[in-house]
Amino acid sequence: MARVYNFSAGPAVLPESVLQEAANEMLDYKGTGMSVMEMSHRSAAFKGIIEEAEADLRSLMGIPENYKVLFLQGGATLEFAGIPMNLLNPENPKADYIVSGGWSKKAFKEAKLYGDIRLAASSEDENFTYVPNVDEVEFREDADYVYICENETVYGNKYHKLPNTGKVPLVADVSSCFLSEPIDVTKYGVIYGGVQKNIGPAGVVIVIVREDLIREDVLPFTPNIMRWKTQADAGSMSNTPPCYGIYICGKVFKWIKAQGGLEGMQKINQEKAAVLYDYLDSTDFYQAPVRKEDRSIMNVPFVTGNADLDAEFVAGAKARGIENIKGHRSVGGMRASIYNAMPKAGVEALVEYMKEFETSHR
């Protein structure tokens, strides 16, 4: 069977060359006589895998030495709790959140269980079709951190300017834009994201945290396994890590390097997004709800304005080998997630189908 163009928001498309490499090594990883799925996480072979993966990630992102890289489990959603548990001051827990979509809203709701969590700004008034103006947002100087979701998967919006939080650490969920463009790690206290959108298979969350934010005095009820210090001290192996997922992530890191690193990846991603957005902006048959200056180049929602027509579009797309194009229920319509591994040909095939569908339904 031929491979389809998979526009899923996650788990999402992976580079074919990475999948082929993994298939070739499935039964015997580098002469060990076993699959990575089978080997001990304490073995020399896996130690080499995780150390090389971290080194490549540090190289790609320019991660300074005073930041720890943690390969954890539970996805980004578990870190909705892990972040306040690890960062809030037990004596006077305070944090400010900007809510720009469903994932930051869920993170805000979770954090409210643990302290004085303030909604600093929100774009829910217009169904998250824009990102709040960070220049107009005021933050508490005594907050333990400020939280954003840098790219909202469901609504397709993206921060193209970070908030100035002063001395207060900025925490960003980058799940949907991880490794899609260059990033200045020093502007953040914590960067984290689930890998199943842009980097690897579901089951791994990567947390990049400045060392001074890894503390002993976390909220007292924080489970030991969720304490960043526990995992940092153990090299992400306090318990058995998601070994195979980390192995695939490591292969994707090398694939991104081969594309020209994050600068090369950004150029490719911008070109792909332009193919889709240029067409959307040229027609009134489809509408792209997100404000132009806040658009994501990873997740592109669009609608016809007619639910029955949207359903027909999705069915027709599937018949053409264009999969997982249906939009999230909170937005409706369609959503194209055009992550790193989505080839430009896939976006071009989608736009060609969109044009034909428009012509036949005018």
Q: Tell me the residue type at 247.
A: Y
Backbone φ and ψ of 46, nearest 5°: -75, -35
On whether the CB atoms of residues 346 and 325 are closer than 8 A, the answer is no
On whether the CB atoms of residues 98 and 146 are closer than 8 A, the answer is yes
Residue 116 known to be catalytic = no
Angle at 93 between CA 87 and CA 95, to 5 degrees: 70
**Dihedral of CA 122/149/291/12: which sign?**
negative
DSSP code for 49: H
303 three-state secondary structure: strand
Residue that the structure tokens 């992102």 belong to: 61
Helix (H) or strand (E) holding 135: none
Helix (H) or strand (E) holding 268: helix 261-282
Q: Could you say which of 158, 197, 272, 326 is catalytic? A: 197
- Whether the ω angle into residue 11 lies within 30 degrees of 0, i.e. cis, is yes
Instruction: Name residues whose C-beta falls within 8 Å of residue 276's C-beta, 6 or more positions apart in sequence.
Output: 300, 336, 338, 347, 350, 351
CA distance 151 to 148: 9
Which residues is 190 bridged to in the sheet? 171, 209
CA distance 140 to 127: 26
CA distance 259 to 264: 6
E-assigned strand segments in 104-189: 116-122, 146-149, 151-152, 157-158, 170-173
Q: Could you say which of 56, 68, 96, 103 is catalytic? A: 103
Residue 229 known to be catalytic = no
The distance in angstroms from the start CA to the end CA of the chain is 34
Which residues is 326 bridged to in the sheet? 334
Residue 228 known to be catalytic = no
Q: Could you say which of 173, 228, 294, 310 is catalytic? A: 173
On whether the CB atoms of residues 193 and 151 are closer than 8 A, the answer is no
On whether the CB atoms of residues 88 and 95 are closer than 8 A, the answer is yes
Catalytic residues: 103, 173, 197
